[in-house]
Structure 1
Amino acid sequence: MFYSCSEQLESHLPEIDKHWQQCQRGFFDTPHGKLFYVYHIPKRPRFALVLVNGRIESAHKYRELLWELAQNNIAVYTYDHPGQGYSPRLLKNKHIGYVKRFDDYAATLHCFMQQVVNPHNTLPLFILAHSMGGAITCNYLALYNPSNIKGVYLSAPMLGINTAPYPAWVAEAIAGLACLVGLGKQYAIGQQQYQSKPFQDNDLTNCPIRYALFRGLYDQYPELRLGGVSFAWLYTALQKCRALTKIELNIPVRVACATHDSIVDNKAQIRFAAHHDKVTRTEFAGKHELLCEQDITRRAVLRDFYEFTGVLPSASDTGS
């Protein structure tokens, strides 16, 4: 089940990159322009998966996971959000993270489902979403109530944002005021252009090999780089995070929490799980990017994901 490990990752890179090149790719239509997508369907797929990535990310960054899922006969569909990855940027300064309304992300996911996923897929369908992708997915479920999703797995979901040193309500008030005076498209306080942080200063992962690959990819493809968020992004994202606790959920959802996360607010994940009967929660010792963590953590997350989708029997099923 676990084909990729960090110590052998370099030797697997030619095969991983070959798989990336063999994926079907193109652009689909949205109100925000033609957005980039990638998908791969193995010869004998078990089920299909929509991968919804996080802020500053791209489908290209997940090429290791796409390759590993293919080895497990899982069809994967993924895309780049408006304003990041290989999709068109929304502002003249291409490094500023911006969206006018957070609902625009859910509308984009709906377009992706309608134009790319549904026409090609007849398999049981799950969603695997990371960070901001988790908030987008929950909002998509609330707004569009899709009937073909069997379950959703959320990796370190952005159900709340770590706005330290300010409380979230103060950050939201400041961002809202900035938008009112016409600064919505400017960097929020403390945000800046893309910077490649050294490994020892990063908040994303404890795995130096996967971190180096991530930074190396963005060095090789500068068009993938994205900097900090705008006041508009921060304001609409904080508003949406508050609203997500109250949404209705009719399908199973698993929340994977990174215990050493400094990017999102884990307390918001706890509140979200407590509010919904369909939500279960698991904890993993790692930083924010659980799917790019050290092998011991990453494999535990993937095992939990495979159990959630029914690929592996759960501990309760086996009696262990």
Structure 2
Amino acid sequence: MIRSLVEIASNPIPAGTRVDSFDLPDRKQLRYAIIPASTSQIRGTVIILHGRSECIEKYFETARDIAARGFTVATFDWRGQGASSRLLRDAARGHIKSFEHYVADFERFFETVLLPDCKGPFYVLAHSTGALIALLAAPSMSNRIHRMVLTSPLLDIPMTRLQRMTARIVANSLRSIGLGRTYMLSGPYKARPFENNPVTSDPSRYKRQCDVLEQAPELALGGPTASWIVAAAKAINRVNRPEFIEKIRIPLLIIAAGADTIVSTPAIERYAVQLRNTTLLTIDGAKHEILQEADFYREQFFAAFDAFIPGTGNEPTQLSDETELTD
């Protein structure tokens, strides 16, 4: 039985939202939601791909913003998080064996739910881990997805070379001796005080998400496992290969957060210059979760979004100086 959406006073469910689930070949279920456009003219469908540990409820506000622009919004909880099937007996562990499972789930969502029920053209808005998955899927989805907007894509973590090497050695060692389900980096979910959070400078939006997880703790997810770390490193290595980059044909808008301490902004900037049909913008001062940030930063994001989507041709929209995302 699929988990209904969780609503609190500060985070109402968008009007007309439909929630359901679809089955995967390995008997897992993924929860999804369709939010209808709130305008009479439908301009297409925006697919929101969440970051690690996130859930549909976190994107209610963003879904309303996009629906008001005339787009249907479609989104789902990745396997192992939110209200989709968890993968381990300890459901709080963020686990995966390969990011190819995520890509396959995205493709199945497209075929099972989007093509029958949603109007094209189709666009992707993906955050962090979801943005890495979107890049992995880009070559196979080039004839289906018109444009992609990627925020704070996971292409590296701000670490020293020694720290990075140590983390990979430890994760690979644990996985090789059958301990791939061991926590890495952090343990079970525990809400941080706002003052110590690395994701947003907006206290009300931060509190809103904490309140959702307090009401529905089963939606929360703890730290990643060693297996997840190994799988993420392999995915990052794959999308960085020149022969893979050459296969990415979908026009991209990549938006980095200038004050990001979760993923590496320099790595994002280095990656973007290797891509064709790509616009890179950095929002100075924004923390990792740009869509959960203060209005000042979110408004800059949507100025860029509106300039890029829906788009009219095969080349990415070039933003004017007025929408260059800096203070």
Fold conserved between structures, TM > 0.5 = yes
- The residue number in structure 1 matching 2:156 is 160
1:317 Cα deviation after fit: 10
- The residue number in structure 1 matching 2:30 is 35
1:41 Cα deviation after fit: 2.4
Give the alignment of 1:1-320 within 5 angstroms.
Answer: 17-19=12-14, 22-32=16-26, 33-42=28-37, 43-142=40-139, 144-163=140-159, 166-188=162-184, 190-246=185-241, 247=244, 248-285=247-284, 286-310=286-310, 315-316=319-320
- The residue number in structure 2 matching 1:4 is none
1:16 Cα deviation after fit: 5.9
Local SS of the residue matching 1:303:
helix
Preserved contact between residue 146 and residue 251 of structure 2 (Cα < 8 Å): yes
1:76 Cα deviation after fit: 0.5
* TM-score for the superposition, normalised by structure 2: 0.87
1:318 and 1:240, CA in 2 relative to 1: closer, same or farther beyond 3 A? closer
Q: Which amino acid aligns with 2:281?
A: T
Q: Distance in 2 between matches of 1:140 and 1:74?
A: 22
Q: Which amino acid aligns with 1:201?
A: N
1:237 Cα deviation after fit: 0.2
More helix by share: 1
Local SS of the residue matching 1:19:
coil
Q: Distance in 2 between matches of 1:259 and 1:18?
A: 31
Q: Distance in 1 between matches of 2:308 and 2:117?
A: 24
1:279 Cα deviation after fit: 2.0
Local SS of the residue matching 2:115:
helix
Q: Distance in 2 between matches of 1:146 and 1:106?
A: 14
1:318 and 1:226, CA in 2 relative to 1: closer, same or farther beyond 3 A? closer
1:316 Cα deviation after fit: 4.0
1:72 Cα deviation after fit: 1.9
1:69 Cα deviation after fit: 1.6
1:137 and 1:315, CA in 2 relative to 1: closer, same or farther beyond 3 A? closer
Q: Distance in 2 between matches of 1:235 and 1:146?
A: 27
1:18 Cα deviation after fit: 4.5
Q: Distance in 2 between matches of 1:317 and 1:294?
A: 22
Between 292-301 and 145-154, the greater mean CA deviation after superposition: 145-154
Preserved contact between residue 142 and residue 249 of structure 2 (Cα < 8 Å): no
- Deviation per CA, 1:79-100: give whole Å up to 9, x if none: 0000000101101111110001
Q: Distance in 2 between matches of 1:254 and 1:310?
A: 12
- Deviation per CA, 1:174-210: give whole Å up to 9, x if none: 211110011101101x311101000000000000010
Q: Which amino acid aligns with 1:241?
A: I
- Percent of residue pairs bearing the same amino acid type: 29
Q: Distance in 2 between matches of 1:80 and 1:241?
A: 21
Q: Which amino acid aligns with 1:220?
A: Q
Q: Distance in 2 between matches of 1:85 and 1:99?
A: 14
- Deviation per CA, 1:238-269: give whole Å up to 9, x if none: 12112212222111111100011111122221
Q: Distance in 2 between matches of 1:56 and 1:293?
A: 17
1:297 and 1:29, CA in 2 relative to 1: closer, same or farther beyond 3 A? same
Q: Distance in 2 between matches of 1:177 and 1:282?
A: 38
Local SS of the residue matching 1:55:
coil
1:92 and 1:29, CA in 2 relative to 1: closer, same or farther beyond 3 A? same
Between 194-203 and 277-286, the greater mean CA deviation after superposition: 277-286
Q: Structure 1: any 5+ residue segments left out of the alignment?
A: 1-12
Q: Distance in 2 between matches of 1:311 and 1:146?
A: 15
Q: Which amino acid aligns with 2:225?
A: S
- Deviation per CA, 1:292-317: give whole Å up to 9, x if none: 10100011011101111147996549
Please report the RMSD computed on the Cα atoms of aligned residues, expressed in angstroms.
2.3
1:119 and 1:163, CA in 2 relative to 1: closer, same or farther beyond 3 A? farther
1:121 Cα deviation after fit: 2.5
Q: Structure 2: any 5+ residue segments left out of the alignment?
A: 1-7
Q: Distance in 2 between matches of 1:319 and 1:257?
A: 14
